[in-house]
């Protein structure tokens, strides 16, 4: 089975910072990768699909890149409302594995 | 507006069974694949099961294979998860998720809590 590994597991950054979260697949998954945001006590929300396509309604400060095995989620200018845990997921074929999550806090 | 409403969670003893339901509305349910995803208290997301439209294919995580069964009733816009031989480690919030196109989940229900404890 393909494993999904996120790094870092947690990070703290200041408002306005550029933040990057990495997701690595143990085998190539083309661009079948999604990113989700889960705010504390809330339901997960889709941010990015097909590695780099922004879901409708998601602020443009969020972007995704990568293909094959290495992917990144970037927040260009961190806002207080971005405090959340972020998950990647490979979604083509089974199992449809999630990364372990990256908890983002404001410094 | 897409709505997914899970029900059927609760407290069950180890070895027991539960049947979760997800009522879908606001879209053509029969045209979409669906997932169940769970989240244990304080833990990350874990994919559980996936069913294609028309129930052609069904997939399961190794952790639930042979114990859980996913199904759907397209006439009534319902998704189900039959959970048997429940274990303490199955304790989690279970989410119903609509899967778009090649399979990413674009809409999530609010979840239903399953607690397995004696």
Quick one: average pLDDT of A15-23?
98
- CA–CA separation, B8 vs B36, rounded Å? 14
Q: What is the mean pLDDT of chain A?
A: 97
- CA–CA separation, B28 vs B53, rounded Å? 11
What's the angle, vertex CA B46, arms to CA B7 and CA B13, rounded to 5? 55
Residue A58 tokens read as 């998601």
- Phi, psi angles (nearest 5°) of residue A5: -120, 120
Provide the 3-class DSSP secondary structure of residue A69.
Answer: coil
Give residue B100's pLDDT: 86
Q: Considering only alpha carbons, which residue of chain B is nearest residue A35?
A: B104
pLDDT digits (tens, 9 = 90+) for A36-88: 999 999 999 999 999 999 999 999 999 999 999 999 999 999 999 999 999 99
- CA–CA separation, B12 vs B86, rounded Å? 8
> Which pLDDT tens digits describe chain B residue by residue (118 residues)?
999 999 999 999 999 999 999 999 999 999 999 999 999 999 999 999 999 998 999 999 999 999 999 999 999 999 999 999 999 999 999 999 999 867 899 999 999 999 999 9
Provide the 3-class DSSP secondary structure of residue B79.
Answer: strand
Tell if the CB–CB gap between B45 and A36 is shorter than 8 Å. Answer: yes
A89 burial via Cβ count (<10 Å: 0-12, 13-18, 19+): buried
Taking any CB pair shorter than 8 Å as contact, residues of chain B touching chain A are 35, 37, 44-47, 50, 59-62, 95, 99-100, 102-111
Tell if the CB–CB gap between A87 and B45 is shorter than 8 Å. Answer: yes
Residue A93 — very low, low, confident or very high, per pLDDT cuts 50/70/90?
confident
Tell me which residue in A43, A55, A97 faces B110 most closely, judged by beta carbons.
A43
Q: Pick from B3, B4, B12: which is nearest to B92 by CA? A: B12
Cβ contacts of A98 on chain B, cutoff 8 Å: 37, 44-47
Give residue B103's pLDDT: 84
pLDDT digits (tens, 9 = 90+) for B17-46: 999 999 999 999 999 999 999 999 999 999
Cβ contacts of B34 on chain A, cutoff 8 Å: none
Which residues contact residue B66 at a Cβ distance below 8 angstroms, ignoring those fewer than 6 apart?
none
């Amino acid at each position: 089975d393909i494993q999904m590994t996120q790094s870092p597991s947690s990070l703290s950054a200041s408002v306005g910072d550029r933040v990057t979260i990495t997701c690595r697949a143990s085998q190539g998954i083309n661009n079948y990768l999604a990113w989700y945001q889960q705010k504390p006590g809330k339901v997960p929300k889709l941010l990015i699909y097909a590695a780099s396509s922004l879901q409708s309604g998601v602020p443009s400060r969020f972007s995704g890149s990568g293909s094959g095995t290495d992917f990144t989620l970037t927040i260009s200018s961190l806002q207080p409302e971005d405090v959340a845990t972020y998950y990647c997921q490979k979604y083509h074929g089974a199992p449809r594995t999630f990364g372990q999550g990256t908890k983002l806090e404001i410094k | 507006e897409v709505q997914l409403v899970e029900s059927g969670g609760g407290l069950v003893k180890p070895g027991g069974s539960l049947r979760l339901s997800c009522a879908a509305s606001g879209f053509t349910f029969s045209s979409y694949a669906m997932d169940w995803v769970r989240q244990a208290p304080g833990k990350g997301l874990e994919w559980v099961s996936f069913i294609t439209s028309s129930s052609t294919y069904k997939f399961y995580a190794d952790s639930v294979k042979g114990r859980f069964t996913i199904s759907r009733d397209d006439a009534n816009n319902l998704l189900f998860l039959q959970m048997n031989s429940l274990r303490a480690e199955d304790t989690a919030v279970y989410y119903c998720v609509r899967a778009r196109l090649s399979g990413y989940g674009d809409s999530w229900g609010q979840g239903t809590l399953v607690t397995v404890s004696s």
